[in-house]
Structure 1
Amino acid sequence: MMPQTPTARVCSHCDGFPVVHITTGTRTLDGQRRTLAAACPACQGTGTHTAPASLVRAGK
């Protein structure tokens, strides 16, 4: 059964693509490009973020 309120949402900074590989412009000895992995700083590479806590007014 699916929960009614999702606990994790897609990160608004990376749109769910948390890790990208950037080419450095150099090549290895066998001709492949060298790359660096960069993770989204907002979600730390998970692609999701938790929903903010909501306040509920109780009483009058």
Structure 2
Amino acid sequence: MPQHALNRLICRNCDGFPVVAITTGTRHRDGSRVTVVATCRSCNGTGHAAPAATLARAGR
């Protein structure tokens, strides 16, 4: 059965994955990898985009 999705726009730059950990290839002394955490700049790490501004006509 399909799950109900929220009515939020997913960020088109990160596709909803706003925070990632990237390995640099080097290792610490204990053998673990050195990682760099990067966040999406367009959605500020939320994964959701703001809705586009709409033009509203007022008057006659």
Query: TM class by shorter-chain length?
Result: 0.7 to 0.9
Cα RMSD of the aligned pairs, angstroms, is: 1.7
Equivalences, count: 54
For the residues of structure 2 that align with 1:26 and 1:59, how far apart are their CA atoms?
Answer: 64
> Please, which runs of 5 or more residues in structure 1 have no aligned partner?
1-5
- What TM-score results when the alignment is normalised by the length of structure 2? 0.72
Q: Percent identity?
A: 54
1:15-41 residue CA offsets vs partner (Å, 9 max, x unmatched): 001111111211122211110001111
Q: Which residue of 1 aligns with 2:37?
A: 37
- Regions of 4+ moved over 4 Å: none
Q: Distance in 1 between the 2:56 and 2:38 partners?
A: 38
